[in-house]
Structure 1
Amino acid sequence: MHTDLVAALDIGGTKIAGALVDGGGNIRLRARRPTPAQDDGETVMGAVAAVLAELSESPLWARASAIGIGSAGPVDASAGTVSPVNVPGWRDFPLVARVREATGGLPAELVGDGVAMTAAEHWQGAARGFGNALCMVVSTGVGGGLVLGGRLHTGPTGNAGHIGHISVDLDGDPCPCGGRGCVERIASGPNIARRALENGWRPGPDGDASAAAVARAARAGDPVASASYERAAQALAAGIAATATLVEIEIAVIGGGVAGAGEVLFAPLRRALRDYAALSFVRRLTVAPALTGTDAGLVGAAAAATAAATRTCVTPPVVAGGRA
């Protein structure tokens, strides 16, 4: 029997997606359920089990050799547990053990969602071919992951590269994480919109007050909307430059909904990076939009599981920790 596919889960506060992924990163089968995020932990696990059950009904399921799990965090890959901020019913929830139980004992690999996106971009996206990269998801929150020396660098618990909670403003607003002036508190979509509203920007007739609406206003020349994105870009540039200075990354890849603003974000980001990334060894740093899109979580989870099974240095990248 061929075992040439990998199962993947992408678990967030809005949706639980599942897939079977082949060795070329192509999704062969999909399943999806809404996340019952405000319900108890067993109800959430029931939705995960329903996704797995739908996948397992396909004849392709017999070809799956392992399962990768990308989850909103924090995660603890060493313990196989998750405590997503936006899923309060899961605190130290033994997700790896429960998924293995639901899949008949498939080897399982757990990574955070930012790390999964990084694995996807290194395997199939904008970071492909780079030995040292920072990949970021800038959306409702700001997450990320690192590739160092050609390998995904997750740290002992799977949270390395979580750039959203680097402080870039020592006297800045308190962040829900407990810090002050974090990248996320300035550059996430909700905070871009909040700042624009606080400074006098007003939504159009449709009432859309999202970061995407602020981006449209900035593109049309609204100075307050533009200033909010410029502030977000400055925070991202400071975090990226600090990371590059510390570990000498060659490329920073940015995905997530906020990256959909295009040059409204990327133009001021590149300008700000010229100011912050001033040392000779970080001046050549490239910034690029992510390429793997909404499938990044699934493709990255599959990459993590494949790499854990092979434990080689070739792409897809190696992921340490979390295997049950």
Structure 2
Amino acid sequence: MTPHTEHTKDTAPVTLLGLGAMGTALARAWLAAGHPTTVWNRTPARAEALAAEGARTADTAAAAVAAGGPVVVCLLDDASVGEVLGGTDLAGRDVVNLTTCTPEQARARAAWAGERGARYLDGGIMAVPPMIGVPESGAYVFYSGPRALFDRHREVLAVPAGTTYAGEDPGYAALQDMALLSAMYGMFAGVTHAFALVRKEDVDPAAFAGLLAGWLTAMAPAAHGIAAELTGGADPQEEVSALAMQVAGIPTFLDTARQQGVSAELLTPYFELMRRCLAEQRAARDPKGMVDLLRR
């Protein structure tokens, strides 16, 4: 290992396994804040730049884990986590897994870590690498697992990005991570379709982008209306009328796409769900009904 300076209480050490774009950004944030940071990567060359910036480099994952501080893991997938940590001594260690995974994988990995004597937090990063270490970027990370463990390392974990505690269930960070990202991809689908509609027309893309972003921002609070339906706080009769009106308008959307020479493949699955919800005799004909139809 390369040497590192002694840490103080205010600059607690941290170990990081995985130096992809996200891992490197995390390491740089801790180094910039003065935290002694031990790093390891399958390809050692990726650690060279960080070593020049003050990171302590470990030759093996086992040596990195032994260096002290929370062991933050940011690898390709859950299988990689098992492969990398499988040959290390985790007894008494605090593992913070920021690798993207499913809720069930997170729960299984928490049990796996516990069997090896480790304490485990799972994390879901709501950011891209350039947002890490930039307070005004809005980046944050979901964490789930033992509350006491989260509280113990909260100050260190808050250095690269904000922290949001998702609950004791170790799968909840991954669950909410995937839920928010799913909504994001749904938005991207709509944005893609919208630009395709105007692509061949005399419409300035930059000006249209401003209209589009403003419209999506105005519509985003609809999420609160769905939440009200799910918790019984809204009048379903109002939503029945709204959904019926929306379903009646579907042909116009499809005809517009056809006339503009644009595939409607990004919209038709949602339109079909709307139709099913309205036609279902025993389903609630409101946003709650649509959510429940997806759960079948």
TM-score when scaled to structure 1? Answer: 0.28
User: Which is richer in strand?
Assistant: 1
